[in-house]
A and B are shown apart, each in its own frame.
Chain A
Amino acid sequence: MTKILKSREILLALAILALIALISTRFPGFVAPANLANVFNDTSPLIILAIGQMVVILTKCIDLSVAATLALCGMVAAMLNGMGVPLPVILLAAVVLGAGLGAVNGWLVWKVDIPPIVVTLGTMTIYRGIIFLMTDGKWINAHQMSAGFKDLPRAFVLGLPVMSWIAIAVIIAAALLLNRTALGRSFYAVGGNPHAAVYTGINVGRTQFVAFVFSGALAGLTGYLWVARYAVAYVDIAGGFELDVVAACVIGGIAIAGGAGTIAGAVLGALFLGVIKNALPVVGISPFWQLAISGSAIILAVAFNARQGRAKGRIILKSAEHRA
């Protein structure tokens, strides 16, 4: 029992349930199954990106360019749609382009040996700049997109929109990748102890490169979903969203120093933020308080996690302990 209670994921899940209960005292409609499904659907892009980000963070890196990658791939998807390219090709193109942009990040980290935070801070602006160059700052709007392009994420299959199913598929695939494949384990190994990883024959740089490609591909996929869902594409879509993605990972207990974290954690971290984002508009809190509340929730969650995760110090020289 105590072991279960100590599991970070269970605690986070309980925190989310408590949060939902608290919200429902102010807005009872929030707990309606249809609304909860809606919250999950709304959080799907964040979940997908958080999973990509988590893999990157596992390898001791960080990807600040996810939102810019999303925006660039989304814009390209919208432009391809305008040229009459069929939807499956657009989807494939968005994912491949995302992977390519991720590969640029990964290559700079791997071969040029630039710190990941610097690389992705740079590419973040470059990718947004590319959108501006492609479009001259013009928007692509609802009436310029085909009906099929906009309808796919909204289409209902077995009671849930396709966007939710895509998120669920990504969750399952990523869980299998991380827990059941050698590559998945090497992400953990590279972040947990890079030196030991080298001795076991893992190429650290290459693994980090693959992590960036993975994150980029997911950002590309999300780019299409985002643009289709909000039916608009312009330079600034998902502006600042990379911070939400990192926050979701941190809340979910993914260690920023790498090597520790679970898919369940990342998903719950994203859901935690998703519930707050969806609840604030309906509980009638002044908008001037909303930002402060979102921020405090993040810090509280992280502080809690940090207490949970702090490794107890180990005394290695018993005889020296009292002399100092």
Chain B
Amino acid sequence: MSYAQLIGDWQALVVLFVAGVVPNQIWRMLGLWFGGGIDEGSELLVWVRAVATAILAGVIAQIVVQPPGALASVPDGLRYGAVAAGLVVFLLTRRSIFAGVVTGEVFMLAGKWWLG
């Protein structure tokens, strides 16, 4: 493991601060400062939460549809199948995250070995 892999360059850390740390801390600190008078069930927050959930859903889809690194070595159908199999077991086990994740992983690994 090289220096670049362990430490990296400082520009990347600046990007992390600007695009990662600040956008998160803004909302937490706003919550800390102005927390008193907000109605948790207000319509605006329902919409905000729905958009935030959909963005996260998009990221989940992006990793599966346009996989990074080693995941790209797994055929498309196998990745989609793993998510589908995990989802079925997740629903059958009354929403067990653990069962869903394990099933998806086992499906993908078994498929990979079976395809050779």
**A interacts with B:** no
Interface residues of A (CB under 8 A from B): none
- B: which residues have CB within 8 A of A? none
